[in-house]
Structure 1
Amino acid sequence: MIVKFKFFLPLLFLSVIGWSAKASAHGTDIEYQKVQAVQIDAIYAGGQPMGNAQVTVYAPDDPSTPWTTGITDEEGQFTFVPDPSQPGDWEVKVRQAGHGDLITVPVGDSTQAAIATQEGGGNSEGLSWLDYSQDSTLVQKALLSAAGGWGFFGTALFFARRRKTA
């Protein structure tokens, strides 16, 4: 009985230590709202605003040269007014201390095309798996836990088997 206890106690310890919460130290989330201007809301994955982050806006006609630059306020917000004579996809890059993200903001004629594509599911490139959320469902967590448990159990059985003496 003591042998089994000594064997399963470390397995129990490792399974408890291996159980972790969702880590989101480097995740960011950037959203935009259209008013008379475009307002960028930049937050970390944990919900804290990206205050004083560097913002770079690229126009659709010259995506390699910054159209304007600036910094977010303390709430992680940045507002700019795109040139209406340049319809298309404006790209906004927000970075702070090695964290950041890039978001595309449709402006003008491309806005209607983007809405039609999103509503119609017009993703003809076969990359629809990119649209799914990265959050794990309860079923995924249960299957992963069962697979991990089976791995521990199988390893325990492998090392606990009695070898025949020749």
Structure 2
Amino acid sequence: MMKRLTLILILALLWVNILPLTVLAHGVEFKYESNSSYLITGFFDDGSPLSAAQVTIYAPDDPKKPWGTGISDEQGQYLLTPDLTKPGIWTVQFRKAGHGGTINLDIGGQMGSSSSTAHSTTQIVLMVIAVLWGFVGTALYFKRERR
């Protein structure tokens, strides 16, 4: 019985290490085009557009008060025409049905853009721990003494 449990744990750990660390959740990604306006496109991880999402824009001079709001179109696009007299980091948030994301645009600065679409190290570590805990719990369940 102990050899079987050890084999199951080893196979489970190998399986976890072989799997890619992607999650099939609804993350949000962005791309944008720039001239004096910015065409921002929001889409889910699976590539479907973030259509009819609530868009909130924050200017660099007052990052707590919304500078503007709007709704993305059917393709998940929103056209932002910022006040060019306010250079700095503009924050654009997309929200829809509990999903959303944020993109920071450096308007009038040196940096092109900064996007928060990737999973953070903390998220990855928590996902791995949760999966491992699931395997340990399953192994302990099958190891228990039957009455």
TM-score, normalised relative to structure 2 = 0.63
Q: Which runs of 5+ in 2 are unaligned?
A: 120-127, 133-138
Alignment partners' CA distance in 1, 2:89 and 2:68: 15
The equivalences for 1:74-89 within 5 A come to: 74-89=74-89
Deviates more, 1:42-51 or 1:26-35: 26-35
Output the CA distance in 2 between the equivalents of 1:98 and 1:20. 27
Describe the superposition over 1:40-65 as per-residue Cα deviations: whole angstroms up to 9, x where unpaired. Answer: 11001111110000100011111111
Report the counterpart of residue 127 of structure 1 in structure 2: none
Runs of 4+ with deviation above 2 angstroms: 17-24
1:99 alignment counterpart: 99
Partner residue in 2 for 1:52:
52
Q: Given that residues 41 and 77 in structure 1 are in contact (C-alpha distance below 8 angstroms), is that contact kept between their aligned partners in structure 2?
A: yes
* Counterpart Cα distance in 2 of 1:91 and 1:97: 20
Q: CA deviation at 1:26?
A: 2.6
Give CA deviations for 1:91-130 in whole Å, capped at 9, x if unaligned: 001111111111111111x2x2x25xx9xxxxxxxxxxxx
Q: In the comparison of the two structures, how many residue pairs are matched?
A: 118
Q: Which has the higher contact order (CA 8 A, sep 6+)?
A: 2
Q: Equivalents in 1 of 2:71, 2:48: separation in Å?
A: 16
Q: Which residue of 2 aligns with 1:62?
A: 62
Q: Higher strand share goes to which structure? A: 2
1:115-126 superposed matches below 5 A: none
Q: In terms of mean alpha carbon deviation, does 24-33 or 34-43 score higher?
A: 24-33
Amino acid at match of 1:24: L
Normalized per residue, the structure richer in helix is 1
Structure 2 counterpart SS, 1:74: coil
Give the % identical residues: 38
* SS at structure 2 position matched to 1:83: coil
1:23 aligns with 2:23: yes
Q: Rg bigger for which structure?
A: 1
1:72 Cα deviation after fit = 0.5
